Structure 1
Amino acid sequence: MSQSRRQARVFIATGEVSGDLQGSMLVAALHQQARDRGWDLHIWGLGGDRMEQAGMELLGNTSGIGSVGLWESLPYVLPTLRHQRRVKNHLRQQPPDVVVLVDYLGPNLGIGQFLDRRFPHIPVVYYIAPQLWVWSPSSKPAKQLASLADEILAIFPAEAKFFRELGACVRWVGHPLLDRCDAMPSRQQARQRLGITEGQTAITLVPASRRQEIRYLLPTMFAAAQRLQAQQPQVQFWIPLSHPTYRQPIETAIEKYQLNARIASRQDAIAAADLAITKSGTVNLEIALANVPQVVIYRVSSVTAWIAKHILHFSIPYMSPTNLVEMKPIVPELLQDEATPENITQQANRILQNPARYQQILQDYAQMRQALGNPGVPQRAAKAIFHHLENIDSPNKQEAAWPRKPK
């Protein structure tokens, strides 16, 4: 008689557009690992459309829920709490074999603490830890995360070092965007698909992956684009959509600022560009890995900025992940009051009109890429998660006894 196929249940929780993108790559890799091993795998949790398409049962869509700052987060408190209640009820009724938390600090810490109280035997893997190692290294959340996680799958070397020093079990797997960018079209292919002619300057604008950025970044960015267009009438702007709900405000802004701009696929818009003017975030690494110079801008509400400066004494060396990897100013950053149309235009022209500056950025990108590891990141992360599954003796989580690290 043939043995029955082994079954496993994995719960994954993440939020925002970047979490959905990176989570979808992990979901696909987990299903591939299950097929290779002859396992039946059920993945469910919080994420977005990409994760659902990759094979995850979606309990709640969190790709549109995300913000930076105290004031900006208020509209998302109630939706987040509703997702938390739904998840906790589901976890009580159907405890998984392994829990994987992806970025999304506040909500995921809440889930982790619930599991620690209710199901301390369920292994918790944290993949893509929030950048506490940069902006809050001595904070309580950093210590909580290190304590809750049975293993942290780090994507940056500095992140791995930081959490090891806090006593966490850490495995450095590299950055998953290495795999996504391996599939990116060449510059020639992308420009041909978009119909960009020889000698035409293509600038990609990335204004938002969060709704607050439509309000605080888009007007400044598009005003800078308007200035560049007046100086270089042949310029063509390309705008990728991070979420379908942003199409209408972006199209309205294109008309308002009278830009020669079109919405295009994310990969074509990035690969074809001579320059990107972009929000701060994971997309900065995607742009860097495509060898496209960029100007990074970051703005929050004046209330949040005042609280961060005068009460929280918030200070970080760099905002863009591109600069954080090497801890040096590879690309220009314009933060808060410095992010003006005049300054953005000036920085963009410094890159476009100075071949030496352009080439220096590309050389720094090459060095930065080496620090991100090697492709195959989602597969390495999936194998690490399966290691936890293989160490579970019983499919009944209330009887299983995975030895958690000492608290």
Structure 2
Amino acid sequence: MASPRVAILAGELSGDVLGAGLMRELRRRSPGVQFEGIGGPAMAAEGLESLVPMERLSLMGVTEIVRHLPGLLRLRADLARRWREAPPDCFIGVDLPDFNLGLERRLRAAGIPTVHYVSPTIWAWRPGRVKGVRQSVDRMLTLYPFEEKFYAESGVDAVCVGHPAADRYPMQPDTGAARRTLGLAEDATVVALLPGSRSSEIDRLLEPFLGAAALLAQRPDAPDFVIPVAAPRLRERIEAAVARHDIRLRTRLLEGDTATAVTAADVALTASGTATLEVMLAKRPMVVAYRLSPLSYQIIRRLIRVPWVSQPNLLAGEPLVPEYFQSDVDPQILAEAAAYWLDDAPARLQLVGRFRHLHETLARGADARAAEAVLEVLQ
């Protein structure tokens, strides 16, 4: 076909990275392809014509979304109208299912082929959403093998492409190289702090993470701390918080380089979400924490159908790493959990073996597979 025009939409940084990789591979196969929609800096670097800043979609929790719902609905209606009037050859929704699936349903009804990249966790909560998926997408691109099977049994065309992060991370992480990059001693004890990429996550997790770091700094092997800053707008807030906890001289802030931070670390304190996958791929022990508004937590707690939320535990089907929520996100609790991993070498070694096996199941050349799957829909 002639050079396609592709509409694509991602709503947060992890989706921006996925979308950029897919765009890159699509251009390799169809050099004249044009992209328009919503994304972040990575997608912009691949040639996205941005219609709206991605930050308008980067919300967390039920109550936060409800507060911004009128604006989100107007935006979705505007995008649907734009693309119905000037149809792209394909629409790709990257993650963000509560926004993208509704948009995909409208566009598909207008005859526009739709692809959704990253399955919503319908196997974990709100399983009835599979009916909506079936109405909304021509093809679902999943990151995990068990999701492809779930959709096949539900009558949805799905392709497991693997996880792009699994392709980026080496099977054998080079801790020494990462520490040299950061100016850390190769024999240092290092703890990575990953409190999230959204402002609301920083609001709820940064202080307990830094409190735990201050407690760990009292150990005889006082650690160095590394914090990847997900967005420039967050740096000043994080720097001020670090100074309040008097660990400034032991702490390095990085410009979003999560891979180097976790590869250099002995253990990570991390928000639940994509970061837990990256820590797993770096073969590092972790302590997982998450806080939502009380109302969001009560709603989600009643809906969720799986016993864990972190990627390693979900993939393994058992609790490989500890998870803490709401009031349990306490500096003392987090520090003690991190100290366990620092002090128990056999436990660390066993966990690394499990993480390596999980890594092998996910490394499939995801960007290229995803591009081929999209081109099949375009033909």
Range of TM-score over shorter length: over 0.9
Q: Extract structure 1 runs of 4+ deviating beyond 4 A.
A: 182-185
Which aligned pairs between 1:36-55 and structure 2 lie closer than 5 A? 40-55=32-47
Which aligned pairs between 1:187-226 and structure 2 lie closer than 5 A? 187-226=175-214
Paired position in structure 2 for 1:103: 95
Paired position in structure 2 for 1:328: 318
TM-score of the superposed pair, with normalisation by structure 1: 0.87
Paired position in structure 2 for 1:31: 27
Percentage identity across paired residues of the two chains: 33
One-letter identity of the residue aligned with 1:275: V
> How far does the alpha carbon of each residue in 1:298-355 deviate from its partner, in whole angstroms, 9 at most, with x for none?
111122223334xx35342211012111211122211223222121111111100000
What is the CA-CA distance between 1:191 and the residue it aligns to?
0.6
Give the one of 375, 380, 383 matched to 2:372.
Answer: 383
183-192 or 233-242: which moved more? 183-192
Q: Does 1:314 align with 2:304?
A: yes
Q: Does 1:17 align with 2:9?
A: no
One-letter identity of the residue aligned with 1:381: A
Instruction: Classify the secondary structure of the residue corresponding to 1:217.
Output: helix
Larger radius of gyration: 1
> How far does the alpha carbon of each residue in 1:228-281 deviate from its partner, in whole angstroms, 9 at most, with x for none?
112246311100011222112111111111122121232321221111110011
CA–CA separation in structure 1 for the residues paired with 2:288 and 2:58: 19
CA–CA separation in structure 2 for the residues paired with 1:348 and 1:183: 23
What is the CA-CA distance between 1:160 and the residue it aligns to?
1.1
Say if 1:219 and 1:90 are closer, same or farther in 2 by CA, change over 3 A: same
Conservation of the 8 A alpha-carbon contact between 1:288 and 1:365: yes
Instruction: Classify the secondary structure of the residue corresponding to 2:73.
Output: helix
> How far does the alpha carbon of each residue in 1:74-129 deviate from its partner, in whole angstroms, 9 at most, with x for none?
45435533532442232033211111111101110221122133x1x221111111
Give the one of 249, 267, 285 matched to 1:275.
Answer: 267
CA–CA separation in structure 2 for the residues paired with 1:64 and 1:210: 12
Say if 1:183 and 1:111 are closer, same or farther in 2 by CA, change over 3 A: farther
Paired position in structure 2 for 1:338: 328
Conservation of the 8 A alpha-carbon contact between 2:115 and 2:141: yes
Paired position in structure 2 for 1:398: none
CA–CA separation in structure 2 for the residues paired with 1:321 and 1:302: 23
Instruction: Classify the secondary structure of the residue corresponding to 1:167.
Output: coil
Paired position in structure 2 for 1:350: 340
Structure 2 residues not aligned, in runs of 5+: none
What is the CA-CA distance between 1:64 and the residue it aligns to?
6.3
Which aligned pairs between 1:92-131 and structure 2 lie closer than 5 A? 92-117=84-109, 119=110, 121-131=111-121
Conservation of the 8 A alpha-carbon contact between 2:125 and 2:303: no
76-85 or 143-152: which moved more? 76-85
CA–CA separation in structure 2 for the residues paired with 1:281 and 1:9: 32
Structure 1 residues not aligned, in runs of 5+: 391-407
Conservation of the 8 A alpha-carbon contact between 1:135 and 1:315: yes
What is the CA-CA distance between 1:199 and the residue it aligns to?
2.1
Conservation of the 8 A alpha-carbon contact between 2:176 and 2:186: no
Say if 1:116 and 1:386 are closer, same or farther in 2 by CA, change over 3 A: closer
Instruction: Classify the secondary structure of the residue corresponding to 1:237.
Output: strand
Q: Does 1:305 align with 2:297?
A: yes
> How far does the alpha carbon of each residue in 1:161-212 deviate from its partner, in whole angstroms, 9 at most, with x for none?
2222211011111111122324997322111111111321111100011221
Root mean square deviation, CA, Å: 2.0
Paired position in structure 2 for 1:60: 52
Paired position in structure 2 for 1:361: 351
